[in-house]
């Protein structure tokens, strides 16, 4: 084939000229770089002359040489993105699914953190010690509605303690063991809770019937409750503290007043058990000690008090019916000479009494007042 018949024959001359120009430009750039790298003395912190010339020449040339390489890189990336779009799409979908899982986990943690804050911020008036727990199982049936919490006797929980969520009262403890306690919910058929309508202070008994809305029974007064009234514990009977939120009053389809429980606003999984103790939760020993009353001492009769000459006190027995014919002298006290017995009225001489101790002149003592005046006794000289 002749050179003229070659299809690339007309392209050889422009390519040769282009290669020659590139070679010349490369040589100029290399010389400029070599000259700019020389050690020169700088004056006033300025570039040297050779370095200035080298930088002025290298800037446009290097920019011109780099531009085609950048274009080629962009083209390769475009082609790669076109051919690998399917795999890139799959990778992005996997990352999106993983990000969605992380988003759901973050939202759940945020909700849990918010509930923790609300639960820890729960306060009562007066303050009552509390124990945090988590409900781990649930028992539901036509007549039973209880839950099991993972805190028990080791944390000081006893039967009768109220249990609350971050929104309100959910029930009370009916059984305790090591590491667990059973909670009777307000909706259980055996639940009876004294409550109070906060607006009117009217009392009622919240009675569970197995449904989600327990009944309000034993209401008294003219229109004691209206729809939307807030219900709190009344504290009657001392089983529960006063003022714990219970729910709102509503009118049921059967015409009875019922309660929408405040604890239904969120799942009941985190609870706080109030270590509330009143007189109804005292131990049997303490109750027996309180019921035990002291026995008063037996009443003694009022003695008649007499004073002897020696300063001793003598108690004379009280007689209810003294005998009027004979006047008997009172008994002598210990340590004093007994009084002489008077002689009969017809005897001319008295009969002196024999002293048991050294002589001590007794003084007349008080005698009981007879109902009738006794006969006059004959004076006896000492």
Q: What is the DSSP string of 302-369?
A: -PEEEE-TTS-EEEEPP-SS--SS--PPPPPPTTSPPPPBPPPTT-SS-BPPPPSSS---PPPPP-PP
- Mean per-residue pLDDT, 103-113: 84
Q: Is pLDDT larger for residue 59 or for residue 256? A: 256
Contact (CB, 8 A) for 244 and 232: yes
- For residue 17, the surrounding DSSP H or E stretch is helix 9-36
Dist. CA 201–CA 296, nearest whole Å: 44
Predicted TM-score (pTM) of this structure: 0.49
Report whether pLDDT(331) > 70. no
- Taking 70 as the threshold, does the pLDDT of residue 214 lie above it? yes
Does residue 346 surpass a pLDDT of 70? no
Between 65 and 372, name the one with better pLDDT.
65
pLDDT for residue 273 is more than 90: yes
Distance CA 28, CA 61 (A): 10
Q: What percent of the chain has pLDDT over 90?
A: 28
pLDDT given at position 6: 56
Read off the pLDDT of each residue in 13-40 and give the average, rounded to a whole number: 70
């Amino acid at each position: 084939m002749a050179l003229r018949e070659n299809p690339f024959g007309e392209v050889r001359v422009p390519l040769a000229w282009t290669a020659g120009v590139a070679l010349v430009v490369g040589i100029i750039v290399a010389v400029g770089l070599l000259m700019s790298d020389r050690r020169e003395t700088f004056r006033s912190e300025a570039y040297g002359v050779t370095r200035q010339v080298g930088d002025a020449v290298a800037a446009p040339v290097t920019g011109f040489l780099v531009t085609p390489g950048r274009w080629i890189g962009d083209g390769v990336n475009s082609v790669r993105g076109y051919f690998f779009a399917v795999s890139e799409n799959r990778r992005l979908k996997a990352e999106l699914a993983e990000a969605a899982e992380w988003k759901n986990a973050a939202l759940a943690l945020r909700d849990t953190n918010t509930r923790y804050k609300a639960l820890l911020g729960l306060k009562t008036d007066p303050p009552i010690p509390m124990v945090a727990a988590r409900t781990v199982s649930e028992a539901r049936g036509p007549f039973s509605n209880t839950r099991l919490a993972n805190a028990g006797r080791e944390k000081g929980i006893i039967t009768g303690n109220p249990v609350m969520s971050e929104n309100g009262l959910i029930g009370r403890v009916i059984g305790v063991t090591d590491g667990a306690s059973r909670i009777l919910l307000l909706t259980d058929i055996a639940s009876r809770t004294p409550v109070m309508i906060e607006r009117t202070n009217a009392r009622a008994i919240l009675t569970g019937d197995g449904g989600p809305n327990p009944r309000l029974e034993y209401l008294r007064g003219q229109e004691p409750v209206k729809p939307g009234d807030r219900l709190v514990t009344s504290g009657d009977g001392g089983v529960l503290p006063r003022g714990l939120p219970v729910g709102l009053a509503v009118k049921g389809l059967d015409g009875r007043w019922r309660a929408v429980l405040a604890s239904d606003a969120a799942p009941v999984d985190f609870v706080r058990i109030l270590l509330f103790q009143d007189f109804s939760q005292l131990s049997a020993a303490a109750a027996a000690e309180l019921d035990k009353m002291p026995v008063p001492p037996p009443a003694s009769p009022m003695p008649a008090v007499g004073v002897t000459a020696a300063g001793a006190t003598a108690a004379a027995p009280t007689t209810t019916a003294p005998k009027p014919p004979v006047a008997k002298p009172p008994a002598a006290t210990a340590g004093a000479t007994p009084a002489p017995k008077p002689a009969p009225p017809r005897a001319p001489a008295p009969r002196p009494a024999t002293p048991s101790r050294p002589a001590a002149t007794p003084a007349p003592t008080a005698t009981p007042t007879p109902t009738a005046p006794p006969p006059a006794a004959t004076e006896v000289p000492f």
